[in-house]
Amino acid sequence: MTTQAAAEAAAAGKPVTHRRILHIAVPIVISNATVPILGAVDTGVVGQLGDPVPIGAVGIGAIILTAIYWAFGFLRMGTVGLTSQAEGAGDAAEVAALLVRALLIAAAGGALLILLQYPLFEGGFALSPASPEVEEAARSYMAIRVWSAPGAIAVYGLTGWLIAKERTRGVLVIQLWMNLTNIALDFLFVLGFGWGVEGVALATFIAEWSGAGLGLWLCRDAFAGGYWKDRALVFDRVRLLHMATVNTNILLRTLMLNVIFVSFLFLGARFGDVKLAANQILLQFLYITSYALDGFAFAAEVFIGQAYGRRSPAAVRRGAVMTSLWGGGTGVLLGLAFLALGPWIIDVMTTAPGVREAARAHLGWMVLAPFVGAAAWMLDGIYIGATRSQDMRNLMFLSLLCYGAAVAVLIPLIGNHGVWAALLVSFAARGVFMGWRYPALEREAAG
């Protein structure tokens, strides 16, 4: 066992402290904050070409590919839960094997996307139709980027493994490397070489593959012990089935969550362009909330997973309480910040008087969202760490039903306010249902 691995194993047995929580959470929050910068630069660089077609092509192409790739988001969540449990149990061989399995899934999933790119892209354009010129340029963009699918998906598994090892600074390094590489190559390929949309795609292709390579280097200690070469261990039938079950349930849960958010966007579009634009601006408040709470939810995943690995219900409770204090406190601060600064943020984001007025009229929902949603975010992390993915799937289905009922009742009564109210109902329902099942999660930790 390397010195670093020994230190991490020792840390896995230590009690949860505020310092350990912040050690995990702060790099994740910073990493999340860099994500919107890349999209802005991609758009800004092609915007210098003086033609709206490249802007639309990069936008729609990125949205379609991001949606497809995010279907593999289960790889990050499942890897954190399973690896942190193996880490808590002191099973170094399984810790290494889990990374290899995640990389094999990424390779297979990426290859499948490359093979199925044509029908996938056609389906994306059917859902998001654009002009023939934009679609043609978007196809060129996606035809290049799809070849980095194995690398992009591998980053989910690599970052999940690093999070489980409490090495979130490594996650931040990967994110910064990918973003800075992408930005530098955007300027070189588009403004320097004049490669247009294809240049943006090639920049992302290189950034994603190099990010995966950097991630492998940061996870190199997984290959130091030679466990990764143990085919019987890596392809152990029982463990593979368990991993497949956990990941499948998380995938189904994520798809149901996406149904809520996609339908939210479509429902808001029924109330005209002004309210649709206002909804888009207010969604940025939700993104800020997500970026901030994700760090503490990730910490919960790690500590709950380690506690499960040690078969310690007391450690589960301590991890859940300590991380939830930080998550809940952050939610309160965000709600108060939105109340105080919300009108100013809206004015910065749009100069259209009608959109400003509509956004301000709905700002109250954004003030409530962190208060209402903090429990759902934190319990997601707790359940992922415990790999209670079947409960996550079932309780998300109940939350989806509550959302549908709220849509049916509230939108006819209060219009666009009903759209936002229904979304917050889904947050509250997830928090209530998962809180209701939490005692069973704690009991199961005893084995």
- Quick one: DSSP state of residue 190? I
Q: Confirm if 187 and 44 have CB atoms less than 8 A apart.
A: no
* 359-392 per-position pLDDT tens digit: 899 999 999 999 999 999 999 999 999 999 999 9
* 346-360 per-position pLDDT tens digit: 888 777 788 889 889
CA distances from 197 to 12, 268, 381 (A): 46, 31, 38
- Quick one: DSSP state of residue 187? I
State the average pLDDT over residues 200-219. 96
Query: Which token pair is 215?
Result: 């991630």
Quick one: pLDDT at residue 22?
A: 95
What residues have CB less than 8 Å from 301, skipping those under 6 apart? 77, 80, 81, 84, 163, 164, 381, 382, 384, 385
Closest by CA position to 283, among listed 36, 20, 9: 36
Percent of the chain with pLDDT over 70: 96
Q: Is residue 40 scored above 70 in pLDDT? A: no
Query: Which token pair is 322?
Result: 């300590």
Binned at pLDDT 50, 70 and 90, residue 401 comes out as very high
* Residue 119 DSSP SS3: helix
What does the alpha-carbon distance between residue 333 and residue 335 come to, in Å, rounded to a whole number?
A: 5
Return the H-helix or E-strand segment holding 47: helix 18-47
User: Which of 39-43, 99-103, 247-251, 361-365 has the least mean pLDDT?
Assistant: 39-43
The larger pLDDT score, comparing residue 90 to residue 42, is at 90
Query: Which token pair is 387?
Result: 């790999």
Quick one: pLDDT at residue 25?
A: 94
Closest by CA position to 35, among listed 284, 218, 261: 284
Quick one: pLDDT at residue 53?
A: 78
Average pLDDT, rounded, for the chain: 90
Quick one: pLDDT at residue 105?
A: 96
**HSE (CB half, 13 Å, CA atoms) of 71?**
13
What does the alpha-carbon distance between residue 151 and residue 168 come to, in Å, rounded to a whole number?
A: 19
- Quick one: DSSP state of residue 379? H
Max mean pLDDT among 64-73, 97-106, 256-265 falls in 97-106
State the average pLDDT over residues 68-72. 87
Q: Confirm if 169 and 29 have CB atoms less than 8 A apart.
A: no
Q: Confirm if 431 and 375 have CB atoms less than 8 A apart.
A: yes
Query: Which token pair is 413?
Result: 């009564």
Domain positions in the chain: 1-235, 260-447
Amino acid at 257: L
Binned at pLDDT 50, 70 and 90, residue 8 comes out as low
Q: Is residue 118 scored above 60 in pLDDT? A: yes
State the average pLDDT over residues 103-117. 96
- Tell me, yes or no, if the pTM score tops 0.85: yes
What does the alpha-carbon distance between residue 403 and residue 429 come to, in Å, rounded to a whole number?
A: 8
Binned at pLDDT 50, 70 and 90, residue 207 comes out as very high
Binned at pLDDT 50, 70 and 90, residue 213 comes out as very high
CA distances from 19 to 24, 290, 330 (A): 9, 21, 16
User: Which of 49-53, 186-190, 229-233 has the least mean pLDDT?
Assistant: 49-53
Q: Confirm if 127 and 60 have CB atoms less than 8 A apart.
A: no
